[in-house]
């Protein structure tokens, strides 16, 4: 290994971009392979499990409702729980912060003269740095969850909420154990390693004076804990030592055991993709079970202490924009379905305790330091986690909010101010020069197009890419498409398009989104040609920004004012409520999903009812007419052949079903192979940024491999993707031309 | 899993067949099934119903009842709130569990709807057991971690 290799602990607290960059390097260099394999396997299993879970969506609604209600009534629930625990013969303690929680547990351990203690996996105990405090008191602390056992041996922070050593391959565990434990036993298989750990830990269980666990949920009415696991270490921790301490955040409390029900199935399915894990315990401590004297210490009575922790949760509960994070049940579905997390894991994409997109809010809330949410920059807003969350948390929304607050916490740089002046944008909202550049893509592109030959000449001048990288962090390895001399709107204003207009037939409005208008005008014209060909009368809107670009940079107010302006424009232009067709999926998702938070209810509902994907409109149009699309779109005109490899845009999948497009292409005679990845890795501006170029490339590898596998199995495929940035990413990674579905369809006319 | 006739002798034979030569066998007295079901078994050599700490250390097989079973998830529900079922179902490498087919519910949430469940003295603590202890933390999936390596379910019908 090279010298001065970063250790995971050094980059745990990501308070700056510099540390985040080092963490990304560490994750990509040493942890990525294991993380990829493990997260993708969890993710695939999860898709399998939820597919057979009866009433999955109903369970999610129920779980969300329970969490909302419980959090709203948290004070009463804490009170009720304290009474229940006391009634059961246990002890209850409410800790306002990490220090109070540590001190209480240390005090109980001192009173019981605890010398050795076993622990079940508990992120909450990680959060309060409990082990170090107990070890300081001379207590031998033994992590018994095998992943935590690995981390304790390696002195590393967790890299995943439920599989904290997900970044360790079997080979690295073998090397670690040999180094740490100095043993000669065979350790070359998972069985060997497990046997070694089991035999060592069994003695620790039997000798322990105390056991510490967390809890998945706690019922206020009777003080029951829900504990979900597979290894049986939590069961042993609860039953073998006479003293049991449980620590849990206040957000885990629900009114009664009945509320456990929907979570039991949701947790297992969402976490490891099993119907249930090996052990789901519902436990009301102290257990009325005799203590077996394994220690030879004589008879002992059972004692139970429950520590409920605030540590920033109460403040989070009062934060209207971020409180949703408290509904989290720590299942990890969001992590496993996150393309960036899949290549980085929680050491790259996470903090000292909590990881992934959901972890940024948690890290900031439990440390009280907003800057520790810096790793939220790794959330691209792709939204693939949104439909996977069993309690329907809008994780990208949380990260946009964090980004906005982080932006506001930093003074506007002279460069960013200059950008605003140059582009005629308002400097009211803070952001970096890079963020200004991407957020105001509409203005950048308008100027670039206006001075098209000159601006494109600039891009070819030696040093220009260096300048863009230094000033705006735009990675010089990225291909930048030249500005067109004519935009989509210009192209369709030339009289040619109007001639194509059918005299009769349904009428639609097509949104001239800024990305297509400036970035791919020909694609826009192809969309109109397809619509004309099927006899639809088309009107193109003005090229107004929709707010997506600004929102992705955390510039919420800019996004909101753009959303309002677009909605006002559309209300005037589209009084009759014609279908509004969108070609660019990120804009479609912006209107159908993000506008819910940005616009008042009524204009949002109007837009939601009228807006749809252009290809889906075509499919629907043929279905309504009952006519055969092959009569219009003739696959024989497409020389490259009938095999296509289709990658559906990540954000599009959050709002509409890409299988409609696939189905439509199949009806035309195409053989469609679909990508099985969550995101292409470009995710709008993300992949253009120098800090994230390598992550973006790493994410794209799986997609490219799937395409290659399709080609080697079946021969050449035409690449199809629906988003501007997906197309750019795929073209860069494959060196092939990539078509938008409307471009493919236009070739069949 | 195996269907077993509702007779104490059938239970005994099925348990002994599953345990083969493994001894000692620990038994937790049933609280839901009739105690008769485990009676012939208790008289067998190497079968212990009142294990000491050292018996637990050396136990090879644990036999408990389950008060319910869940069809969709393939789980059995074992009461660990009193007596020794918590240990017997946990420390030995082989866990054999006996459950009445009449106690089968479709999914976990059905159990929480049962009226008896809300009685405070009933099933204070229990565990849905859905397989042997397992881990994926050491690379590939490994069965047999801190709890039993094997789970055998005998269904009385």
Closest CA to A377 of A549, A548, A552: A552
Main-chain dihedrals φ then ψ at residue A71, nearest 5 degrees: -70, -35
Q: For the whole model, what pTM was predicted?
A: 0.96
CB-CB contact of A238 with A226 (8 Å): no
The C-alpha atoms of residue A339 and residue A396 are separated, in whole angstroms, by 13
- Average pLDDT, integer, range A304-319: 98
Q: Which residue of A has its CA nearest to B138?
A: A190
Q: Does the pLDDT at position A502 exceed 60?
A: no
| Per-residue model confidence (pLDDT) at position A504 | 73
Nearest-by-Cβ selection for A287 from B86, B141, B142:
B86
Q: In a mutagenesis test of the A interface, which of B53, B145, B149, B151 is the best target, namely the one with the most A β-carbons within 10 Å?
A: B145
The C-alpha atoms of residue A94 and residue A82 are separated, in whole angstroms, by 9
For residues A397-429, b (16+ Cβ closer than 10 Å) or e, as one string? bbbbbbbbbbbeeeebeeebeebbeebebeeeb
| Per-residue model confidence (pLDDT) at position A293 | 96
Q: Please report, for the domain that includes residue B107, its CATH number.
A: 3.40.50.10420
A98: CB partners within 8 A, 6+ apart: A127, A128, A129, A309, A311, A366
DSSP per-residue string spanning A344-378: HHHHHSB-SS-BHHHHHHHHHHHHT-GGGGGGGGG
The C-alpha atoms of residue B133 and residue B147 are separated, in whole angstroms, by 5
C-alpha dist (Å) from residue A665 to A526, A586, A639, A662: 16, 21, 16, 5
CB-CB contact of A543 with A442 (8 Å): yes
CB-CB contact of A49 with A275 (8 Å): yes
Q: Is A188 helix (H, G, I), strand (E, B) or coil?
A: coil
Q: Are strands A140-143 and A116-119 parallel, antiparallel or unpaired?
A: parallel
Contact criterion met (CB < 8 Å) for A284 and B81: yes
Containing H/E element for B76?
strand B75-79
Q: Which residue of A has its CA nearest to B148?
A: A232
Chain B nearest C-alpha distance from A45 (Å): 13
Domains of chain A: 67-314 (3.40.50.10420), 488-746 (no CATH)
Contact criterion met (CB < 8 Å) for B117 and A257: yes
CB-CB contact of A337 with A43 (8 Å): yes
| Per-residue model confidence (pLDDT) at position A459 | 85
pLDDT in tens, A518-549: 999 999 999 999 999 999 999 999 999 999 99
pLDDT in tens, A39-94: 999 999 999 999 999 899 999 999 999 999 999 999 999 999 999 999 999 999 99
pLDDT in tens, A258-269: 999 999 999 999
Average pLDDT over all residues of chain A: 95
Q: Which residue of B has its CA nearest to A39?
A: B136
Neighbours of A549 (CB within 10 A): 29
* CA diameter of chain A: 97
Find the helix packing angle between A601-610 and A556-573, rounded to 10°: 60
Q: Does the pLDDT at position A496 exceed 60?
A: no
A217: CB partners within 8 A, 6+ apart: A225, A226, A252, A253, A254, A259, A260, A263, A329
B20: CB partners within 8 A, 6+ apart: none
A389: CB partners within 8 A, 6+ apart: A60, A333, A334, A395
Chain A nearest C-alpha distance from B153 (Å): 14
| Per-residue model confidence (pLDDT) at position A469 | 95
**Residue A320 is encoded by which pair of tokens?**
């209207």
- Average pLDDT, integer, range A677-682: 95
Chain B nearest C-alpha distance from A172 (Å): 10
Nearest-by-Cβ selection for B133 from A163, A231, A281:
A231
Angle made by CA atoms A553, A558, A561, in degrees to the nearest 5: 145
For residues A659-687, b (16+ Cβ closer than 10 Å) or e, as one string? ebbbebbeebebebbbbebbbbbbbbbbb
Range of the domain at B139: 2-156
The C-alpha atoms of residue B79 and residue B65 are separated, in whole angstroms, by 8
- Average pLDDT, integer, range A192-209: 97
How many folded domains does chain B comprise? 1
DSSP per-residue string spanning B98-135: EEEGGGEESSHHHHHH-GGGGSTTS-SSEEEE-SS-EE
| Per-residue model confidence (pLDDT) at position A698 | 98
| Per-residue model confidence (pLDDT) at position A70 | 98
C-alpha dist (Å) from residue B26 to A231, A235, B54, B126: 21, 18, 12, 19
B27: CB partners within 8 A, 6+ apart: B38, B41, B42, B47, B48, B49, B62, B63, B64, B88
pLDDT in tens, A142-179: 999 999 999 999 999 999 999 999 999 999 999 999 99
DSSP B23: -
Which residue did the predictor score with more confidence, A420 or A637?
Answer: A637
State whether residue B8 sits within 8 Å of chain A by CB. no
| Per-residue model confidence (pLDDT) at position A494 | 64
CB-CB contact of A492 with A540 (8 Å): yes
The C-alpha atoms of residue A475 and residue A685 are separated, in whole angstroms, by 11
State whether residue B84 sits within 8 Å of chain A by CB. yes
Q: Is A650 helix (H, G, I), strand (E, B) or coil?
A: helix
DSSP A503: S
pLDDT in tens, A413-448: 999 999 888 888 888 899 999 999 999 999 999 999
- Name the CA dihedral angle for B51, B56, B57, B61, rounded to a multiple of 10 degrees: 120
Closest CA to B147 of A261, A215, A210, A277: A277
Q: Which residues of chain A are within 8 Å of residue B127 when distances are taken between CB atoms?
A: 235, 279-283
Per-residue pLDDT of chain B (157 residues; tens, 9 = 90+): 999 999 999 999 999 999 999 999 999 999 999 999 999 999 999 999 999 999 999 999 999 999 999 999 999 999 998 889 999 999 999 999 999 999 999 999 998 876 555 554 457 899 999 999 999 999 889 999 999 999 999 999 9
Q: Is B2 helix (H, G, I), strand (E, B) or coil?
A: strand
C-alpha dist (Å) from residue A244 to A106, A213, A283: 13, 8, 12
| Per-residue model confidence (pLDDT) at position A4 | 56
- Check: complex ipTM more than 0.90: yes
The C-alpha atoms of residue A427 and residue A477 are separated, in whole angstroms, by 30
- Average pLDDT, integer, range A384-402: 97
State whether residue B150 sits within 8 Å of chain A by CB. no
Q: Which residues of chain A are within 8 Å of residue B112 when distances are taken between CB atoms?
A: 257-258, 260-261
Closest CA to B107 of B128, B85, B125: B128
Q: Is A217 helix (H, G, I), strand (E, B) or coil?
A: strand
| Per-residue model confidence (pLDDT) at position A454 | 87
Q: E strands of A482-602, at which residues? A: 507-510, 537-540, 580-582
| Per-residue model confidence (pLDDT) at position A426 | 82
Helix, strand, coil shares of chain B as percentages rounded to 5? Answer: 25, 30, 45
**Residue A305 is encoded by which pair of tokens?**
């202490």
Residues forming a β-bridge with A228: A280
Neighbours of A727 (CB within 10 A): 26
Q: Which residue of A has its CA nearest to B51?
A: A292
- Name the CA dihedral angle for B109, B110, B113, B118, rounded to a multiple of 10 degrees: -80
Q: Which residue of A has its CA nearest to B128?
A: A280
* CA diameter of chain B: 45
């Amino acid at each position: 290994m090279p010298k001065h290799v970063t250790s995971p602990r050094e980059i745990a607290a990501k308070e700056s971009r510099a540390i985040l960059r080092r963490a990304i390097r560490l994750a990509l260099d040493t942890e990525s392979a294991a993380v990829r394999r493990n997260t993708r396997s969890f993710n695939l299993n999860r898709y399998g499990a939820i597919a057979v879970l009866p009433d999955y969506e109903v369970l999610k609604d129920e779980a969300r409702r329970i969490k909302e209600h419980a959090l709203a009534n948290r004070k009463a629930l804490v009170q009720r729980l304290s009474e229940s625990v006391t009634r059961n013969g246990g002890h209850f303690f409410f800790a306002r912060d990490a220090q109070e929680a540590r001190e209480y547990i240390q005090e109980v351990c001192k009173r019981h003269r605890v010398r050795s203690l076993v622990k079940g996996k508990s992120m909450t105990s990680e959060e309060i740095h409990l082990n170090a405090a107990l070890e300081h008191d001379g207590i031998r602390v033994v992590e018994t969850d095998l992943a935590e056992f690995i981390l304790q041996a390696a002195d590393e922070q967790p890299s995943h909420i439920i599989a904290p050593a997900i970044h360790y391959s079997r080979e690295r565990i073998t090397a670690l154990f040999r180094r740490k434990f100095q043993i000669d036993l065979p350790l070359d298989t998972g069985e060997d390693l497990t046997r070694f750990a089991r035999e060592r830990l069994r003695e620790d269980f039997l000798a322990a004076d105390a056991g510490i666990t967390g809890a998945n949920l706690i019922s206020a009415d009777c003080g029951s804990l829900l504990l979900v696991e597979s290894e049986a270490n939590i069961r042993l921790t609860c039953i073998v030592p006479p003293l049991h301490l449980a620590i849990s955040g206040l957000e885990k409390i629900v009114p009664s055991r009945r509320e456990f029900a929907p979570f039991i199935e949701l947790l297992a399915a969402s976490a490891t993709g099993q119907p249930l894990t090996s052990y789901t315990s519902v436990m009301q401590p102290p257990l009325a079970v005799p203590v077996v004297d394994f220690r030879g210490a004589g008879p002992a009575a059972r004692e139970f202490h429950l520590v409920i922790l605030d540590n920033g949760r109460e403040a989070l509960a009062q934060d209207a924009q971020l409180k949703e994070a408290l509904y989290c049940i720590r299942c990890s579905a969001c992590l496993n379905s996150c393309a960036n997390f899949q290549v980085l894991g929680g050491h790259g994409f996470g903090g000292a305790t909590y990881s992934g997109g959901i972890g940024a809010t948690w890290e900031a809330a439990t440390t009280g330091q907003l800057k520790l949410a810096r790793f939220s920059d790794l959330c691209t807003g792709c939204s693939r986690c949104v439909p996977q969350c069993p309690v329907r948390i809008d994780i990208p929304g949380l990260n946009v909010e964090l980004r906005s607050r982080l932006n506001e916490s930093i003074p506007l740089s002279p460069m960013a101010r200059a950008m605003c002046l140059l582009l005629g944008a308002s400097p009211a909202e803070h952001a970096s020069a890079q963020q200004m550049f991407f957020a105001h893509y509409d203005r950048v592109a308008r100027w670039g197009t206006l001075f098209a030959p000159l601006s494109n000449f600039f891009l070819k001048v030696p040093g220009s890419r260096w300048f863009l990288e230094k000033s705006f962090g735009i990675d010089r390895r990225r291909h930048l498409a030249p500005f067109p001399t004519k935009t989509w709107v210009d192209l369709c204003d030339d009289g040619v398009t109007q001639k194509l207009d059918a005299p009769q037939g349904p009428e639609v409005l097509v949104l001239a989104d800024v990305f297509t208008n400036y970035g791919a005008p020909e694609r826009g014209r192809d969309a109109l040609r397809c619509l004309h060909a099927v006899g639809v009368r088309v009107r193109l809107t003005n090229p107004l920004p929709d707010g997506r670009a600004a929102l992705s940079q955390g510039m919420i107010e800019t996004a909101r004012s753009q959303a309002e302006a677009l909605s006002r424009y559309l209300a005037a232009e589209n009084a009759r409520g014609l279908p509004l067709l969108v070609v660019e999926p990120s804009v479609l998702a912006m209107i159908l999903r993000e506008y819910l938070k940005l616009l008042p209810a009524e204009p949002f509902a109007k837009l939601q009812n009228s807006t749809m994907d252009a290809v889906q409109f075509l499919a629907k149009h043929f279905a309504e007419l009952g006519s055969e699309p092959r009569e219009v779109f003739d696959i024989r005109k497409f020389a490259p052949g009938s095999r296509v490899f289709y990658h559906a845009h990540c954000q599009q999948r959050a709002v509409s079903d890409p299988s409609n497009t696939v189905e439509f292409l199949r009806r035309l005679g195409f053989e469609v192979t679909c990508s099985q990845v969550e995101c292409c890795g470009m995710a709008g501006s993300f992949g253009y940024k120098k800090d994230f170029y390598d992550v973006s490339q790493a994410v794209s590898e799986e997609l490219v491999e799937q395409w290659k596998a399709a080609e080697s199995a079946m021969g050449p495929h035409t690449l199809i993707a629906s988003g501007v940035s997906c197309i750019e990413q795929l073209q860069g990674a494959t060196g092939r031309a990539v078509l938008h579905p409307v471009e493919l369809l236009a070739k069949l006319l | 899993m195996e269907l077993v006739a509702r007779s104490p002798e059938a239970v005994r034979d099925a348990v002994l067949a599953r345990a083969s030569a493994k001894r000692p066998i620990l038994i937790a007295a049933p609280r839901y099934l009739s105690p008769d079901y485990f009676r012939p078994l208790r008289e067998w050599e190497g079968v212990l119903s009142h294990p000491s700490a050292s018996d637990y250390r050396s136990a090879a097989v644990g036999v408990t009842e389950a008060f319910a079973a869940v069809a969709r998830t393939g789980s059995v529900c074992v009461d660990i709130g009193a007596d020794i079922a918590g240990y017997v179902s946990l420390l030995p490498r082989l866990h054999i569990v006996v459950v009445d087919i009449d106690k089968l519910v479709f999914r976990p949430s059905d159990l929480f709807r049962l009226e008896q469940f809300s009685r405070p003295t009933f099933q204070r603590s229990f565990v849905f057991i859905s397989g042997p202890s397992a881990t994926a933390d050491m690379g590939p999936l490994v069965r047999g971690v801190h709890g039993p390596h094997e789970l055998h379910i005998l269904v009385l019908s």
